[in-house]
């Protein structure tokens, strides 16, 4: 179990991370504050390392992309107390049960049983989708992997979506809201979808794994293991089979590996931009939006945009001159 000091360290990192994301104000219940005070009363952490009582914790980590930044703080570099996050502004819900509060982050890598067999009994596609969603949401394996108050995340979108975006696994925001891609990476994905001339409501978005991979720590993310992805894959495949999209976009090397069984380690540069297939359905591999959050260069964005243009062509979406030439002027070519 994590020591109070390391839990506190994680929590302070999270507070810094939230502030860097623009969160200026958090609300916290009186019970949570009391629990925090009790929890850390005996900690050897000095008072100036303790978060201000006017601040609070979400302590369950951030999205896949931004968590990497937070884990960049070296061990022992306990940040000074954040200024109170009290200015009026954007408010974020604080959950009462967090990893820091419970100290029960669970095993980082639990043993995962063999993949399930999905067989849907309902009549219509819509009913089958509901049946599948219910099965995933009540999946005992997934439920055993998440902390109290967090949710399993099933895909969403219309069953006649032309494009199916496939990520790897939910992050902190996603497990809180029970929706895929609603954190910072999701905001970027929304922008990519808009650039294609589509609305988010017009595409299907899912993940290989339907739970947030536990890290065993109070913060941070990790990619799903091969066993975890193998377990989630039948559910994802069932969604693809129900939607029957004209193209799937695998977001990042992990999703590509989970979806297509490819050995993608370190080879994203070669794999992206080319077409693969899942049965009859063409699959484009491109960079994960989290990658773009960290590699915010015209070059990376242009590569993703080229992949998306190729998807638009394949699914017969109209492409304007402006869309086709998005990055030409920026690169002077």
Neighbours of 254 (CB within 10 A): 24
To the nearest whole angstrom, how small is the minimum distance from the Cβ of residue 315 to ligand URA?
Answer: 21
Q: Are 209 and 228 in contact (CB under 8 A)?
A: yes
| C-beta of 153 vs 238, nearer to ligand URA | 153
- Regarding 157 and contact with ligand URA (CB under 6 A), the answer is no
| C-beta of 84 vs 178, nearer to ligand URA | 178
| C-beta of 25 vs 68, nearer to ligand URA | 68
Kindly state the tokens that stand for 48.
Answer: 């100036």
- Regarding 169 and contact with ligand URA (CB under 6 A), the answer is yes
- Regarding 207 and contact with ligand URA (CB under 6 A), the answer is yes
Tokens 């895929």 -> residue: 180
To the nearest whole angstrom, how small is the minimum distance from the Cβ of residue 104 to ligand URA?
Answer: 23
Would you give the DSSP letter of residue 221?
-
Helix (H) or strand (E) holding 91: strand 91-92
- Regarding 168 and contact with ligand URA (CB under 6 A), the answer is yes
Residues ≥6 apart with Cβ < 8 Å to 86: 24, 25, 54, 55
Report the residue count for the chain.
333
Kindly state the tokens that stand for 147.
Answer: 């902390």
Helix (H) or strand (E) holding 238: helix 226-243
- Regarding 311 and contact with ligand URA (CB under 6 A), the answer is no
| C-beta of 174 vs 228, nearer to ligand URA | 174
| C-beta of 55 vs 259, nearer to ligand URA | 259
Q: Which stretch binds ligand URA (CB under 6 A): 40-48, 85-93, 166-174, 271-279?
A: 166-174
To the nearest whole angstrom, how small is the minimum distance from the Cβ of residue 205 to ligand URA?
Answer: 7
- Regarding 63 and contact with ligand URA (CB under 6 A), the answer is yes
Q: Within 13 Å, how many C-alpha atoms sit on residue 84's CB side? A: 8
- Regarding 203 and contact with ligand URA (CB under 6 A), the answer is no
Q: Within 13 Å, how many C-alpha atoms sit on residue 181's CB side? A: 29
**Alpha-carbon gap, residue 13 to 219, rounded angstroms:** 8
To the nearest whole angstrom, how small is the minimum distance from the Cβ of residue 115 to ligand URA?
Answer: 19
Q: Which residue is nearest to ligand URA (CB)?
A: 167
Q: Within 13 Å, how many C-alpha atoms sit on residue 304's CB side? A: 25
**What radius of gyration, in Å, describes the C-alpha atoms of the chain?**
21
To the nearest whole angstrom, how small is the minimum distance from the Cβ of residue 43 to ligand URA?
Answer: 32
| C-beta of 81 vs 177, nearer to ligand URA | 177
- State which of residues 157, 171, 253, 258 lies at the interface with ligand URA (CB under 6 A): 171
- Regarding 215 and contact with ligand URA (CB under 6 A), the answer is no
Helix (H) or strand (E) holding 13: helix 4-20
Sign of CA pseudo-dihedral 287, 291, 292, 293:
positive
- Regarding 10 and contact with ligand URA (CB under 6 A), the answer is no
Kindly state the tokens that stand for 100.
Answer: 């820091």
- State which of residues 174, 175, 228, 307 lies at the interface with ligand URA (CB under 6 A): 174
- State which of residues 181, 219, 231, 235 lies at the interface with ligand URA (CB under 6 A): 181
Q: Which residues contact ligand URA (rule: CB under 6 A)?
A: 63-64, 167-171, 174, 180-181, 183, 185-186, 207
């Amino acid at each position: 179990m994590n020591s109070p000091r390391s839990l506190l360290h994680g929590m302070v990192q999270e507070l810094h991370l939230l502030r860097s994301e623009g969160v200026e104000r958090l609300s916290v219940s009186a019970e949570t504050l009391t629990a925090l005070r009790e929890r850390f009363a005996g900690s050897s952490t000095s008072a100036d390392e303790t978060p201000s009582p006017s601040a609070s914790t979400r302590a369950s980590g951030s999205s896949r992309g931004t968590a990497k930044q937070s884990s960049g703080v070296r061990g022992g570099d306990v940040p000074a107390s954040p200024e109170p996050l009290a200015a009026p502004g954007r408010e974020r819900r604080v959950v009462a049960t967090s990893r820091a509060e419970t100290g029960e982050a669970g095993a980082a890598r639990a043993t995962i049983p063999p993949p399930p067999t999905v067989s849907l009994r309902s009549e219509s596609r819509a009913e089958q989708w509901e049946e599948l969603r219910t099965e995933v949401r009540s999946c005992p394996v997934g439920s055993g992997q998440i902390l109290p108050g967090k949710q399993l995340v099933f895909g969403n979108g219309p069953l006649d979506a032309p494009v199916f975006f496939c990520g790897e696994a939910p992050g902190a925001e996603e497990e809180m809201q029970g929706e895929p891609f609603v954190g910072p990476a999701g905001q970027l994905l929304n922008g990519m979808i808009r650039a294609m001339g589509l609305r988010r409501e017009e595409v299907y978005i899912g993940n290989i794994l339907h739970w947030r991979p536990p890290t065993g720590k109070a913060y941070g993310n990790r990619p799903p293991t091969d066993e975890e992805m193998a377990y989630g894959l039948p559910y994802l495949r069932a969604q693809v089979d129900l939607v029957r999209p004209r193209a799937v976009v695998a977001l990042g090397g992990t999703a590509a590996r989970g979806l297509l069984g490819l050995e993608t380690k370190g080879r994203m540069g070669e794999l992206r931009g080319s077409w693969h297939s899942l049965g009859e359905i063409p699959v484009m591999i491109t960079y994960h939006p989290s990658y773009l959050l960290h590699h915010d260069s015209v070059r990376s964005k242009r590569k993703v945009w080229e992949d998306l243009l190729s998807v638009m062509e394949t699914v017969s979406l109209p492409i304007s001159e402006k869309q086709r030439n998005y990055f030409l002027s920026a690169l002077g070519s």
